[in-house]
Amino acid sequence: MAAIPFTLREMQTGWRKNFQAYKVASPPIQNAHRLLLFYAIECGLKAILMKRQGAKLTSDCDDIANAQHDINALLTALRAASDLQLPKGLLLSSSRKISSGQINQVWRYGGEFINQNGSESIEKQLLMISKWIIQELLPSRRKIT
């Protein structure tokens, strides 16, 4: 099934709305909240790719099709600093190894990481990436309004 093409404006809106929804989540933060953060970051990174490449639709950007949901692949395509990369070789409680492109599935389907702080650690890293996205998409502003 082919991906639905979205505009740059729609990707930026997806980033902003998902990030705002994550930010208003009340503690304790659950994986469902983190999933909103994950998708916000994915939208933000794809919006930056589109902006840099002058793409009007996501379908005009091969890097988006190649990366799919892999945050690290998107960061690599953007030549972002390596310290923004999500951890590699994540393990689920069932001893299955997953990639950074599968984190959304873990949170969506209720999986748990072996390391009890796994989700919290990934969440913190996604928040670091969000700061970078804000600088890239909103260079004259510090906050999302």
| Predicted pLDDT at 15 | 97
pTM greater than 0.85 (yes/no): yes
Q: Exposed/middle/buried for 108, CB within 10 Å: 0-12, 13-18, 19+?
A: middle
Inform me whether the pLDDT recorded for 138 exceeds 90. no
pLDDT digits (tens, 9 = 90+) for 77-86: 999 999 999 9
pLDDT digits (tens, 9 = 90+) for 46-64: 999 999 999 999 999 999 9
| Predicted pLDDT at 3 | 84
| Predicted pLDDT at 139 | 76
pLDDT digits (tens, 9 = 90+) for 97-118: 999 999 999 999 998 888 756 8
What are the tokens at 29? Answer: 């933060």
d(CA 1, CA 102): 18
Tell me if 5 sits within 8 A of 55, measured CB to CB. no
Q: Which of 7, 16, 61 is nearest to 39 (CA)?
A: 16
